[in-house]
Structure 1
Amino acid sequence: MTVLALVVAALFVGVVLVGVGDRLRLPWPVLLVLVGTAAAFVPGIDAPDLDPELILPLFLPPLLFATAQRASWSVFRARWRAVLFLAVLLVAVTVAAVGATVTWLIPGIALGSALAVGAAVAPPDPVAVEAVAGPLRMPRRLVGVLQSEGLFNDATALVVFQAAIAATVAGEQPGAETGLLLVWSAVGAVGVGLAAAWLAGQLADRLTDPVAPSALTLVLPFAVYLAADAVEASGVIAVVVAALQMRQRADADDVEQRLTGSAFWNVVEMLVTAAAFALIGLELRAVIEDAGDQLGRMVADAAVVAVVVIAVRAVWMLGALVSVRRRGSPPGTAPRTVAEAAVLTWSGMRGLATLALALALPRVTDDGSPFPFRTELVIIAAGVLVATLVLPGLTLPVLLRVLGVRESEEVGRAAERRLVVRARQAALTELAALDREALGVDDTVGEEVLGELRARFARLGVGEGGTGEAPGDDAADRADYEQRLETLRRRRDQWMRVQSLALAAARREVLAARSEAGVDPEIVDRVLQRLDVRSLASG
């Protein structure tokens, strides 16, 4: 089977699995892992020869960009402690713990190789977390913490991974320069991301085709990732920063572009994930064949590492609970209870980044010899992925129900109603302040006339067919009909102008709320989408 046929088949299977997951109420990333793993054992399907150096640049940038667009700067300003505590410190501790465990399990392995697999299994995946936890009514406070962690922990893991691989390939030991590299990686990436977002924004403002900006955003994450990599900065952080900044500069009047872009990126995220899991899953066949009769021992080692990964996260979350209780519970902090600590522990799902990093291990070192213990390291990473994604993905609903950590639907609806009230008030304020004479609106009795216009417009519709009975043959009847028709047209035009201003004011208010602390970006995007659809329909 050709690579093209494999990709098409993977995309088709991914679409089907999303539908199956919705019907069975199972997370589709879990189904993708199971089906991708099963495909590795199907005879006649040959895995494509993927260059390890291309795996990360191909799959990570679009997935990170898609996920980051659903967050906001205000979320990270409110949760910077959680980002530092989970995305940096927890990753570093997990890398050290896994590295020590692997060194104990595999006598003779180089420290760099052990740390490399530690970096591969350390970061939870934001796409997997959102797909699994989102539909389960997990409190948005917990989901927000997991998303914030997932967007930045790849950066820490990737820096450690690259430093460990470079040392192993060169036959050296990782040194203290890794810390300096991490600092520059973050600082340089922020600069690259901000610059790229500014340039992309300038270009997008000059594009008139509504599809072109979406195409630009598809190219942008790859370009940003490569630009950051060229200056030895973190491509992960650069892509996330670019996505957040592009979302921050959104214009309230970009209705069509926003609707098109949202649908476009939902499709991209699903298809890229499906293709990645399928193609990378097929790569495991060669690894399993290389393992031979040692496969059982390697899987046992993977189980030990998975237990260590989960145990480290559990201890860390208990420490976070103590810290939160000691300094109080500001809005958005988590965990606040032992039950929430257990949920956050069990939600540390590894995903595409773990498998991609493992398969990105080079096949040979600088002297041409095989990379030491590569096969076992890949199997360990794959085992940790299965243990932390498949098991939690299937059991998290039960855990949430047993522990009582579920958010009432009324909480989300109440937050949405508050935002809708703000949008409505902004629209009414705009209507009260508009200059009717300048707009050509000849009704001057304020909200009573606007209410009448609403009622008449609803009865008449937006077409020109709702104008009453057709005129008779009498000239007087025809003249009366033409007069009534002209009045209705004028009323409709007036209402369209007024409604357009009101909806624009409502959109501006909702977008402003997206930058405020404590406001859930998901709820903002939901309300904004409804306003955009109404604006487009009435335009």
Structure 2
Amino acid sequence: MDQLALIIGLLLATVVAVGLGDRLRLPYPVLMLLLAVGLTFIPGFPDLDIAPELILPIFLPPLLFATAQRSSWAVFRVRWRTLIMLAVALVVITTAVVAGAAWLMIPGIGIPAAIALGAMVAPPDPVAVESVAGRVHMPRRLITVLQSEGLFNDAAAIVIFQAAVAAAVGGTRIGPDVVLKFVIGAAVAVVAGIAMGWLTAIITRLVASMVARSAVTLVVPFAAYILAEEVHASGVIAVVVTALEMQRHSRPQDAAERVTRTAFWDVVELLVTALAFGLVGLEIRHVIRDEGSDIWGMLGVAAVVCVLVFAVRFLWLAVLAMGGRKRRNALQPTSAKEVLILTWCGMRGLATLALALALPLTLADGTPFPARDYLLVIACAVLLATLVLPGLTLPWLMRVLNASNDGTEERDAALVLAQRAQAAAVAALKEHDLMKDLPPEKVALVKEKMGRLHAELLDGSLRNESVADLRVRGRGLAIAVQTIALDAARQEVVLARNEPDMDPEVADRVLRQLDLRTMIMPE
């Protein structure tokens, strides 16, 4: 009962953290973490006991799925350089640098355990970045860079971590087969994700209940993750691919389902994110309590590792920025200002905690795992340094650098897309030639409505006075005219969402207004 009461308490605290974050303009995950750390200082406060091997399977699938739903295949085809350089190369380089430093500074750690530490602290957390960047009006281009990195870097870190732990436990060396294992695991995960997306599309077409179809989307991320892990593939990649496939199979006519699913996932993402970071806070306090006074002797090494994590990321992004200017690559940093912002947004989170807690207690011969206490303290220190400090200071940094986005770029993109939707609606009406059967005054009303369509899509207003006017005469035909127009507009936006140069979130914003317009139409 204590466990259930603690979970309910954390969920209720989420509401407080979100409200407080809105007032203070601070990210609520950071506030949840600090709140959880503070609560554990209360005498008799219960611990939340979750087996380490269950942390990633419980929290990672829904959070990755929620983030990946805001992207598309076309965007990833454009961002493949960013994926390789940040989600794979930067993870490998950070792992190597941290492992080398740990091997030099921690007596008796051994190379495999040092590599395990590097893999633990290497991958930034996409959920933390999303929650922080959106509140400071960061330019969309930088957010897409962080999204691209965050969706896949856990896969590389997990493979390296598992290989390092296996080598440490078995007393063997880490060989080049790690690369082959990663490539094969990624390929199998892509196949599993595509299959799961295809299967989900079939299920949602067979199920009549809209609520049930939304509920399926909650089950699918866990199923994709477990399926991939069972065949020794990457569960992370499988979940991301599943989400991308489901978006690819989205149909223009599924307006009510999209609105319901979006609202459902907004709630799920909020609660799971807050619960995950509450767990991070509880576990950090648990580590501090277990280590006691010994922790003070470990803080020097932890501080060095924290500095290295920031420094490696800054230098690597600086190299990418120089290359990005030469290639005019819009999906990489192009200035020192952007390098600094992206460095500050390299926030560690759930994956770092889960991997740290997954460290075995003993080796195969029964001896303690090398420097396990050291590794836990360092992982928690990196987590706090990269999450709390940037999370609380990023708004100030954006103001100092004058880097906040006023939304002009997004509004311009939405305007262009809204105009495309309006043009598609008018073309569909001309093709069906329905307006010839309407009285002249109704034709004028329909034309006025189509002329205002792009403005309604941009400002989010859903004025329905035209429908009321059209009901006076020719009600059925007038509704048919609007139905055809809205269907054509949605079709255009759904197609545009899969274009390489289209921001999926801008398309989703316009599509949501069309979906809401469709839902308020009279029967």
Aligned-partner residue type, residue 329 of structure 1 = R
Verify: 1:167 aligned to 2:167, yes or no.
Answer: yes
Alignment of 1:362-381 (within 5 A): 362-381=360-379
Contact 2:345–2:390 (8 Å) recurs in 1 = yes
Segment of structure 1 superposing worse, 394-403 or 488-497: 488-497
Deviation (angstroms), 1:453:
9.1
Structure 1: distance between partners of 2:227 and 2:366: 29
Structure 2: distance between partners of 1:488 and 1:444: 13
Structure 2: distance between partners of 1:73 and 1:20: 36
Contact 2:120–2:355 (8 Å) recurs in 1 = yes
Aligned-partner residue type, residue 354 of structure 1 = T
Distance 1:528 1:169, change over 3 A: same
Deviation (angstroms), 1:241:
0.5
Verify: 1:513 aligned to 2:513, yes or no.
Answer: no
Deviation (angstroms), 1:145:
0.5
Deviation (angstroms), 1:504:
0.9
Match in the other structure for 2:455: none
TM-score (norm 2): 0.93
Distance 1:403 1:449, change over 3 A: closer
Contact 1:129–1:349 (8 Å) recurs in 2 = yes
Structure 2: distance between partners of 1:344 and 1:102: 25
Aligned-partner residue type, residue 215 of structure 1 = A
Deviation (angstroms), 1:48:
3.0
Structure 2: distance between partners of 1:415 and 1:452: 23
Verify: 1:224 aligned to 2:224, yes or no.
Answer: yes
Contact 2:108–2:371 (8 Å) recurs in 1 = no
Cα deviation 1:15-69 (Å, max 9, x = unaligned): 2201110111111121122112222322212213321111111111110001100
Segment of structure 1 superposing worse, 509-518 or 288-297: 288-297
Structure 1: distance between partners of 2:166 and 2:23: 46
Contact 1:46–1:282 (8 Å) recurs in 2 = no
Match in the other structure for 1:246: 246
Alignment of 1:273-288 (within 5 A): 273-288=273-288
TM-score (norm 1): 0.90
Alignment of 1:290-329 (within 5 A): 290-326=290-326, 328-329=327-328
Contact 1:453–1:495 (8 Å) recurs in 2 = no
Verify: 1:499 aligned to 2:494, yes or no.
Answer: no
Contact 2:61–2:239 (8 Å) recurs in 1 = yes
Structure 2: distance between partners of 1:367 and 1:129: 41
Contact 2:30–2:387 (8 Å) recurs in 1 = yes
Q: What runs of 5+ residues in structure 2 fail to find an aligned partner?
A: 452-462
Contact 2:471–2:478 (8 Å) recurs in 1 = no
Match in the other structure for 1:72: 72
Verify: 1:271 aligned to 2:271, yes or no.
Answer: yes
Match in the other structure for 1:104: 104
SS in 1 for 2:219: helix
Distance 1:458 1:235, change over 3 A: closer
Structure 2: distance between partners of 1:275 and 1:366: 34
Deviation (angstroms), 1:148:
0.3
Structure 1: distance between partners of 2:496 and 2:222: 30
Contact 1:424–1:506 (8 Å) recurs in 2 = yes
Q: What runs of 5+ residues in structure 1 fail to find an aligned partner?
A: 467-486
Contact 2:193–2:239 (8 Å) recurs in 1 = yes
Structure 1: distance between partners of 2:299 and 2:42: 20
Segment of structure 1 superposing worse, 334-343 or 490-499: 490-499
Match in the other structure for 2:400: 402
Aligned-partner residue type, residue 60 of structure 1 = L
Verify: 1:45 aligned to 2:45, yes or no.
Answer: yes
Distance 1:452 1:200, change over 3 A: closer
Verify: 1:385 aligned to 2:383, yes or no.
Answer: yes
Contact 1:63–1:127 (8 Å) recurs in 2 = yes
Distance 1:206 1:115, change over 3 A: same
Cα deviation 1:176-218 (Å, max 9, x = unaligned): 2211111111111111111111111111110110011111111
Match in the other structure for 1:137: 137
Match in the other structure for 1:482: none
Aligned-partner residue type, residue 358 of structure 1 = A
Contact 1:21–1:27 (8 Å) recurs in 2 = yes
Match in the other structure for 1:443: 438
Aligned-partner residue type, residue 293 of structure 2 = D
Structure 2: distance between partners of 1:280 and 1:124: 15
Deviation (angstroms), 1:458:
5.8
Number of equivalent positions: 510
Segment of structure 1 superposing worse, 158-167 or 291-300: 291-300
Q: Which has the larger radius of gyration?
A: 1
Deviation (angstroms), 1:519:
1.2
Contact 1:252–1:504 (8 Å) recurs in 2 = yes
Aligned-partner residue type, residue 378 of structure 1 = L
Task: Find the partner of 1:534 among 507, 517, 520.
Answer: 517
Match in the other structure for 1:413: 411
Distance 1:347 1:280, change over 3 A: closer
Deviation (angstroms), 1:454:
9.0
Contact 2:348–2:382 (8 Å) recurs in 1 = yes
Match in the other structure for 1:470: none
Kindly, what percent of the aligned residue pairs are identical? 50
Structure 1: distance between partners of 2:344 and 2:449: 55
Contact 2:30–2:277 (8 Å) recurs in 1 = no
Alignment of 1:200-215 (within 5 A): 200-215=200-215
Distance 1:113 1:537, change over 3 A: same
SS in 1 for 2:474: helix
SS in 2 for 1:233: coil
Q: How much is the aligned-residue C-alpha RMSD, in angstroms?
A: 2.2
Aligned-partner residue type, residue 190 of structure 1 = V
Structure 1: distance between partners of 2:21 and 2:408: 25
Distance 1:172 1:537, change over 3 A: same
Cα deviation 1:132-178 (Å, max 9, x = unaligned): 11122211111101110000111111111111122222232322221
Distance 1:32 1:175, change over 3 A: same
Aligned-partner residue type, residue 360 of structure 2 = P
Distance 1:70 1:488, change over 3 A: closer
Aligned-partner residue type, residue 328 of structure 2 = S
Segment of structure 1 superposing worse, 86-95 or 514-523: 514-523
Distance 1:537 1:304, change over 3 A: same
Distance 1:56 1:40, change over 3 A: same
Cα deviation 1:416-455 (Å, max 9, x = unaligned): 1111111111111111111439xxx832769437348999
Structure 2: distance between partners of 1:507 and 1:363: 55
Deviation (angstroms), 1:352:
1.6
SS in 2 for 1:211: helix
Segment of structure 1 superposing worse, 261-270 or 272-281: 272-281
Structure 2: distance between partners of 1:357 and 1:215: 29
Match in the other structure for 1:17: 17
Contact 1:507–1:528 (8 Å) recurs in 2 = yes
Distance 1:280 1:138, change over 3 A: closer
Contact 2:40–2:285 (8 Å) recurs in 1 = yes
Structure 1: distance between partners of 2:449 and 2:11: 49
Cα deviation 1:330-366 (Å, max 9, x = unaligned): 4x33211111111111111112221122122223333
